[in-house]
A = this chain, B = another copy of it.
Amino acid sequence: MSDLESALQDGDQPELRTWLRLLTCSTLIEQQVRSHLRRRFNTTLPRFDMLAQLDRGQNLTMSELSNRLMVSNGNVTGLIERLVKEGLVSRSPAPDDRRSQMVRLTSKGQRAFDAMLPVHNGWIEDMIGGLSGAEMKQLLALLAKLKNSLIDAKQTGDLT
């Protein structure tokens, strides 16, 4: 099978190899989740991810949703508008700042999400199930360290 790592050569820096292997893994998971969501629930990954955020944090502002989903405000606004039209989420002005809007699941949205969540989590368990509990713990610790390194680099980059 060819993937993003196929062009790497022996002398390549381990940082580049780490990045391409990480991206290969996350792309493989994302493609499988997208395909399962389409086939099983006729829905998309951005929609599922948005409902998942709202399930866990009722009453989030648009900009908090944009931070959590790591996408632009424009993307969040467009998606929320479609979900409002379908009756899955509702918006109301924030009590402490009337210019910003709070978003929450409607009971229809909650039911739709509750039907998808256990099935989704089963896919993730199957995909990652090749790792033992101890390996997953080790991987989580290394990724936590990597994440800190990435946040540091981002802050340095934002200042320059």
- Which residue numbers of A lie inside 8 Å of B, CB to CB? 1-4, 6-9, 13-19, 21-32, 35-36, 49, 52-53, 55-57, 64, 67-70, 121, 124-131, 133, 135-140, 142-154, 156-157
Contact = CB atoms under 8 A, between A and B. Distances in A.
Contacts of A149: 127-131
Interface majority SS on A: helix, strand, loop or mixed? helix
A140 B70 contact: no
19 contacts: A3-B70, A7-B52, A7-B55, A7-B56, A14-B137, A14-B140, A15-B129, A21-B147, A22-B29, A22-B143, A23-B29, A25-B150, A28-B70, A127-B149, A128-B146, A129-B153, A130-B148, A138-B138, A139-B146
